[in-house]
A and B are shown apart, each in its own frame.
Chain A
């Protein structure tokens, strides 16, 4: 079956431009996560969606970052007025019934963002 799908796989953008990154979770998964990983660094939690509950936005680094999840499925991470420090790989993950901590979280291959 299909895993977590992310697009674009690579994106080069100019400083100051807005970018949108898309995530298609595994079908039927109610929980969706976004993480960021800068070069040579660990994974940084950004935001977490669980069903119809209010998302956990505690990891978003600034108000330039936002995310939506439409219809409980596809999610879009938007970065406005990109800065060079936003360059990183943005990873999406999903899991069934996220509040049950025994469920497995599956990651996509990421969207590589380079801000020049």
Chain B
């Protein structure tokens, strides 16, 4: 299974874009990149996922490099409620299970 590397923590000013990086240099060609977040004491919340192309939904945008070895999750206008731990995960191609790392703790500050 591909492993991911994320910064331990990041700060972002409220109203600004939050850009969360993730390295997954050993990703295989048929493995997707998933992003989840976990707000204290709640279950993980799905944000977005992608394979090769950049993706956008109502929550965020996902930018995947052409070589697929890294990606960036973009929250375009961060709010205080976006303070959470953000997990970048590569989905195992044989079993489909998600293997979580330690994630990035994003602190949105007023």
* Interfacial residues, chain A to chain B (CB-CB below 8 A): 4, 31, 33, 35, 42-45, 48, 50, 56, 91, 93, 95, 98-110
Contact = CB atoms under 8 A, between A and B. Distances in A.
Decide if the interface of chain B is mainly helix, strand, loop or mixed: loop
B103 A45 contact: no
A106 B36 CA distance: 10
Closest A-B pairs by Cβ, 5 of them: A107-B43, A43-B100, A98-B96, A101-B91, A107-B44
A75 B99 CA distance: 20
Given A101-B91, A109-B43, A110-B43, A45 B49 contact: no
B96 A99 contact: yes
Contacts, number: 63
B44 A91 contact: yes
14 contacts: A4-B43, A44-B100, A45-B100, A48-B95, A93-B43, A93-B44, A98-B97, A101-B92, A102-B32, A103-B96, A104-B46, A107-B36, A107-B43, A107-B46
Contact of B103 (A31, A42, A56, A93): A42
A103 B98 CA distance: 11
B89 to A, nearest CB: 9
Contact of B31 (A98, A101, A110): A101
A43 B46 contact: no
Given A42-B101, A102-B51, A56 B44 contact: no
B96 A31 contact: yes
